[in-house]
Amino acid sequence: MDSVTHIVVGACVGELVGGKQLGKKALLIGAVANSLPDIDIVASFFLPLTADLLAHRGFTHSLLFLALVTPLLSYLSARLFPTAAMSRWRWMYLWGLQIFLHIFIDGFNAYGTGWFEPFSHYRVSFNTMFVADPLFTLWPLVAAIALLVLKTKSRGRTKWAGIALVLSAAYLITGIVNKNTVDRQIKQELASRNISHQDYFSTPTPLNSILWYVVAKSDSGFYIGYRSLFDKHPTTRLRYACQNNYLLEQAKNKEDIARLVRFSQGFYTATTAHDTLLFNDLRFGEIAGWADSTPHCVFYYYPELTGANDLVVQRGRFANWDAQAVITFINRIRGK
């Protein structure tokens, strides 16, 4: 999830676990604790980009990191705040819960989270929530602001934090239910149309859990489409995209290609633009693909032009969004 989400969720959890003992310091400590796994961002300063893609949400988002760091940070916290009425076990509960919630929530979007590093490179991706979803973040954000304003001894502080987290959890569960509904519909469609597939995933489009981007992998390519919970037509328009592995065989930097293939979890295509090779990771969606018949992927990498790959995960996320694009997007969510 985005940094704002981790900060405000961390502040609310900090209030519930340590508010009575630490006062408003619990908000700051909670925000830092929940954000800690993203310390892996420092890897971007010295690793090649393709290696950094794998390092992010890797070991610092693992259960082993949680087990190793929690006792150490609990010990340091007890030394830094000796006058706080926090036992060593309560400090462990605060740090452990915060780090766990961070890596748990991150597992619900498309990037992939290395819960089992370094023993397994498998990335957990439940694909039920967009990386930034205002309906998930709004409630703890409002609560965090209220907690900053309310007096330390106010009886309503725990209610603000608790209700906010319950609402966010309810939205997370709603996304899971929505995804199961869409997956069931799409898989029934694929079967009825005799479209065989080896693998499949669906993930929500930006900022909502109503319109879903679906991808079914066949022998040499992918069937790609969009499905809204409000769609009235039983048939989903599916577009076929060839994987084009032969294009990647021509790439000079084989190590970069191997990392990108691993990062994409097999959901990728290779294309060319003006005779330049592009690696497209399908998991991050397409640029306005619900309205464009020939969309570009949000994540595209130039294997032969390494200097042209800054902000590779972010650069296409909201490209070409204007007033008309927003209207079209909203209409497509509504099933039009």
Q: How far apart are CA 159 and CA 97, in angstroms?
A: 19
Sign of torsion, CA 287 3 104 134?
negative
Starting from the edge strand earliest in sequence, which strands make up the sheet with 276-286, in order?
Answer: 268-273, 276-286, 297-301
Report the percent of the chain where pLDDT is more than 70.
100
Question: What pLDDT does residue 317 have?
Answer: 77
Q: How far apart are CA 305 and CA 303, in angstroms?
A: 6
**Are 98 and 14 contacting, i.e. CB atoms less than 8 angstroms apart?**
yes
Task: Determine which of 83-92, 163-172, 319-328 has the lowest per-residue pLDDT on average.
Answer: 319-328
Report cis status (omega within 30 of 0) of the bond before 71: no
Identify the band that residue 252 occupies on the pLDDT scale cut at 50, 70 and 90. Answer: confident
Which amino acid, residue 11? A
Given a cut of 80, whether residue 153 has pLDDT beyond it is: yes
Backbone torsions φ then ψ of 196, nearest 5 degrees:
-80, 145
Tokens of 316: 């296409």
Q: What is the CA radius of gyration of the chain?
A: 22
Residue that the structure tokens 């959901």 belong to:
267
Question: What pLDDT does residue 57 have?
Answer: 96
For 174, other C-beta atoms within 10 Å of its C-beta total 16
Starting from the edge strand earliest in sequence, which strands make up the sheet with 239-242, in order?
Answer: 199-204, 211-217, 221-228, 239-242
Question: What pLDDT does residue 247 have?
Answer: 94
For 328, other C-beta atoms within 10 Å of its C-beta total 17
For the chain, give the mean pLDDT.
93
Task: Determine which of 35-44, 136-145, 205-214, 309-318 has the lowest per-residue pLDDT on average.
Answer: 309-318
> Average pLDDT of 123-144?
95
Identify the band that residue 277 occupies on the pLDDT scale cut at 50, 70 and 90. Answer: very high
User: What does the H/E/C string look like for 274-308?
Assistant: CCEEEEEEEEEEECCCCCCCCCCEEEEECCCCHHH
Q: Please, what's the largest Cα pairwise distance for the chain? A: 68
Identify the band that residue 232 occupies on the pLDDT scale cut at 50, 70 and 90. Answer: confident
Task: Determine which of 25-29, 189-193, 198-202, 248-252 has the lowest per-residue pLDDT on average.
Answer: 248-252
pTM to 2 decimal places: 0.93
Question: Mind listing the pLDDT tens digit for each residue in 44-76?
Answer: 888 999 999 999 999 999 999 999 999 999 999
Question: What pLDDT does residue 307 have?
Answer: 77
Given a cut of 80, whether residue 31 has pLDDT beyond it is: yes
Give residue limits of the domains in the chain.
3-174, 193-333
Helix axes 134-149 and 25-35, enclosed angle (nearest 10) = 150
Burial class of residue 135, CB neighbours in 10 A (0-12, 13-18, 19+): middle
Question: What pLDDT does residue 291 have?
Answer: 87
Question: Mind listing the pLDDT tens digit for each residue in 90-129?
Answer: 999 999 999 999 999 999 999 999 999 999 999 999 999 9
Contacts of 42 (CB under 8 A, 6+ apart): none
Question: What pLDDT does residue 295 have?
Answer: 86
> Average pLDDT of 250-266?
92
Q: How far apart are CA 298 and CA 296, in angstroms?
A: 7
